[in-house]
């Protein structure tokens, strides 16, 4: 009926969901398989340790299954799933709040300006560089150091590839808050990472990677 | 509209999202053409975001998928997870 017919194979999630609701529950495994990393990554960004993040992720997949009939296709299934994941993580953190340093209350928006690291040139770092654990660790540390309100917006928009609107919906904040936080988060990341990545990138070295 | 560097920095995120009004985008574009500092800042930001989005930065723990699907199967079978259409 649409151009989807022209592309094979096609994942028709609406059809999969209808089949699951009609009793073919086995299909749920296949429905969620592509989203395991996204759900885990978002859970990890809230929980900060792997085992709590895995618990939250499992719980989110289970809740999504139980609530599947409430999914009306107003959003993408993946966005709905991420929304359930964030709620589950928040619920868990509220529950454990006394044990945690990081307040769930939003910190005041930090100073209006985040200036980037000033560079005179930039030599492209290819994705192959992520084969090096020191590069992965630098990125993880920089993301983890962002305060939660910045980290969440950045991950949803730039890692999970949600739109500005979807990000605003799942975080229950305004579009302009998303834009402001996203801008600051990106600048903070550039400020933190550009000098470090640059110094890891000795002359010509990356050349061999590309 | 002529922009100074520090004003261009305010637009980097919007520029990357292609969300700037035409007039602003053109001014930023013009600035970038002759400013190597702002170009380097833009390129490094874009590069860092590409690296950040890579699936290798945060990976699933070993055995995650197996444990998840085993639990889903268990709960779906036992019925405790299988109350479809009856959220909570």
CATH of domain A8-99: 1.10.1740.10
Report d(CA B69, CA A28) in Å as an integer: 10
Task: Report CB contact under 8 Å: A40, B64.
Answer: yes
**Domain A127-205 is found in CATH 1.10.10.10:** yes
> Which tokens belong to B6?
């520090």
Residues in chain A within 8 Å Cβ distance of B50? 127
Task: Report CB contact under 8 Å: B60, A58.
Answer: no
pLDDT in tens, A181-197: 999 999 999 999 999 99
The CA-atom distances, in angstroms, between B47 and each of A126, B44, B50 are 8, 5, 5
Q: Where are the domains of chain A?
A: 8-99, 127-205
CA A94, A99, A100, A101 torsion: positive or negative? positive
B66 near A CB under 8 A? no
Task: Report CB contact under 8 Å: B81, A66.
Answer: yes
Q: Compute chain A's Rg from CA coordinates.
A: 20
Predicted pLDDT of residue A111: 57
Q: What is the pTM of this model?
A: 0.86
Q: What is the pLDDT along chain B (88 residues), one digit of tens a residue?
A: 678 999 999 999 999 999 999 999 999 999 999 999 999 999 999 999 999 999 999 999 999 999 999 999 999 888 654 455 444 4
Of A41, A121, A125, the CB nearest to B58: A41
Task: Report CB contact under 8 Å: B52, A54.
Answer: no
Shortest distance between the Cα of A48 and any Cα of chain B, in A, equals: 12
The Cβ-side half-sphere exposure at B25, using a 13 Å CA radius, reads 10
Report d(CA A97, CA A124) in Å as an integer: 42
């Amino acid at each position: 009926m649409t151009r989807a017919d022209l592309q094979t194979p096609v994942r028709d999630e609406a059809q999969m969901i209808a089949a699951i609701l009609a009793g073919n529950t086995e299909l749920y495994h296949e429905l969620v398989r592509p989203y395991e990393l996204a759900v885990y990554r978002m859970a990890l960004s809230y929980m900060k340790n792997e085992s709590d993040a895995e618990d939250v992720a499992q719980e989110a997949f289970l809740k999504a299954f139980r609530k599947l009939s409430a999914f009306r296709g107003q959003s993408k299934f993946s966005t709905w799933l991420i929304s359930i994941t964030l709620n589950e993580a928040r619920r868990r953190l509220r529950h454990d709040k006394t044990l945690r340093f990081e307040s769930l209350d939003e910190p005041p928006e930090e100073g209006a300006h985040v200036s980037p690291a000033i560079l005179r040139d930039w030599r492209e770092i290819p994705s192959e560089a992520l084969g090096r654990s020191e590069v992965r660790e630098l990125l993880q540390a920089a993301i983890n150091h962002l305060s939660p309100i910045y980290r969440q917006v950045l991950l949803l928009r730039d890692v999970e590839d949600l739109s500005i609107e979807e990000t605003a919906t799942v975080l229950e904040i305004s579009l302009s808050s998303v834009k402001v936080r996203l801008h600051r988060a990106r600048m903070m990341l550039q400020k933190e990472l550009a000098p470090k990545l640059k110094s890891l990138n000795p002359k010509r070295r990356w050349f061999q990677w590309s | 509209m002529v922009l100074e560097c520090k004003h261009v920095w305010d637009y980097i995120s919007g520029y990357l999202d292609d969300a700037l009004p035409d007039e602003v985008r053109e001014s930023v574009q013009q600035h970038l053409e002759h400013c190597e500092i702002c170009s380097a800042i833009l390129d490094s930001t874009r590069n860092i975001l590409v690296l950040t989005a890579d699936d290798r930065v945060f990976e699933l723990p070993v055995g995650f998928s197996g444990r998840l699907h085993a639990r889903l199967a268990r709960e779906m079978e036992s019925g405790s997870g299988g109350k479809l259409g009856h959220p909570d």
